[in-house]
Homo-oligomer: A and B are copies of this chain.
Amino acid sequence: MVRYGQYDVPPVDQEVNFKVGQPSPHTLLPLDLVRQAANAKFAETDPKFLQYGDIPGYLEFRKSLAGFLTEQYGAPVSPDELMVTNGITGGLALFITIFCRSGDLVFAEDPSYFLALRIFEDFKLNVVQIPMDEDGIIPEELEKQLQKQVPKFLYTIPIGHNPTGRTLAEDRRKKIVELAYKYNFVICADEVYHLLGFPGVPSPLPMPYYDQKKERVVSLGSFSKILAPALRLGWMQGPMKILKPIIDCGQLDSSGGINPVISGIVHQAIDLGLQKKHLAYVQEELHRRCNILMSALDKYMPAGVTHEVPKGGYFVLVKLPEGMLSTDLLDVAVKNKARFLPGTSFGQGFGSYLRLSFSYYSAEDIEVGVKRLAEAITQLQNTQANGK
């Protein structure tokens, strides 16, 4: 068997790794669906789809995508405010390439997606992180920083936030857009988890809908988590003021846009109704797993362990009992065949937190993992009690 991935996740009898933020291959990676869409695409007889492509993505695809997003968001999306990207990462890299210079300042939440921070390093940007609470980034803290220095952009993950799973509250969305106008910066919203909002759980609209004047907000979306990461396809939704300098850049002129063949496959997935059907399944399944994870936490965790309740996405944030550090726990947990992302790795003030992902494991395996973690906590508590 070919080894395709970045890393191999061990079998559950060896370890349950709650750190893995990837879709589970055998349930959430829809090979049959992608095959069906690819077959439909390759049945075409016009070789021009193999040519250098239209720069923002070909119009017929953007129309389909706009229709799909309009239905999902319950708010209008026009093909003219969309361009195709290589996923969130590719969109972010292009945005930075065109709008930033080395040494420029960017704001992000504290904590933030650790690889976004590394992408800012790739581009030699300086990062200031703004405190957040359970309702997302704190506007007063943001403004305090803005009075000192204004960034080129604010990078935010407004729903299913990585690593906290938190959602930026509606009033705060309005407030930070106001701040973007007042202080003159762009909001770059990584909305990779927006379409993974849990069914029946109300959540705010994507960030562009809070930008009435349509000048300061760009939203990054992706097929990685609603279809498949290896497609490397996503989109950017924003006003022409932001999209045009990107569409006009040398890089996209030279490449003929981004991934036209894959765009064609995803176009078929949308038009055949496969994407919509799969997304509904993914939303249900993630919601189910999240509920199972939270129930298991409530059932098995010792007193003093609490968790937050996400509205969607991949992650639940768990808080350890007073005084227990996530790094201390990790050593014990690993011996106990369980693993997680310790809060120490994502920010000051999160030392007693764990990020648990529920995207990779089945319901049963999640329960196994939580039991192992709970035992590890108890073991650590006993050790620490004996040590005193």
Contacts and interface: CB of A to CB of B under 8 A. Distances in A.
Contact of A54 (B4, B31, B48, B53): B4
Interface in A114-135: 115-124
A230 interface: yes
Interface string A211-247: 0000000000000100011111000000000000000
A54 B102 contact: no
A52 B230 contact: yes
Interface residues of A, number: 74
Given A4-B58, A5-B51, A97-B97, A232 B260 contact: yes
B1 A46 contact: yes
Given A122-B250, A249-B118, A29 B48 contact: yes
Residue of A87, A119, A249, A256 most packed against chain B (CB within 10 A): A256
A248 to B, nearest CB: 9
A274 interface: no
Contacts of A25: 47-48, 50-51
A378 interface: no
Interface stretch (A33-41, A297-305, A332-340, A361-369): A33-41
Contact of A261 (B54, B230, B260): B230
A232 B47 CA distance: 15
A119 B42 CA distance: 32
A250 B119 CA distance: 5
Contacts of A52: 5-6, 22, 224, 229-230
B250 A115 contact: yes
Interface string A235-275: 00000000000000111011111111110000000000000
A1 to B, nearest CB: 6
B230 A119 contact: no
A48 B360 CA distance: 13
A251 B54 contact: no
Given A3-B59, A250-B118, A42 B38 contact: yes
Contacts of A51: 4-5, 22-23, 25, 29, 228-230
A251 B89 contact: yes
A98 B118 CA distance: 11
A118 to B, nearest CB: 3
B251 A93 contact: yes
Contacts of A229: 50-53, 256
Given A103-B102, A123-B97, A257 B6 contact: yes
A84 to B, nearest CB: 11
Contacts of A120: 250
A256 B251 CA distance: 21
A93 to B, nearest CB: 5
A5 B119 contact: no
A86 interface: yes
B102 A256 contact: no
A337 to B, nearest CB: 22
A101 interface: yes
A55 interface: yes
The 9 closest A-B pairs by CB, nearest first: A118-B250, A50-B228, A115-B254, A230-B260, A101-B102, A119-B250, A89-B255, A31-B47, A29-B47
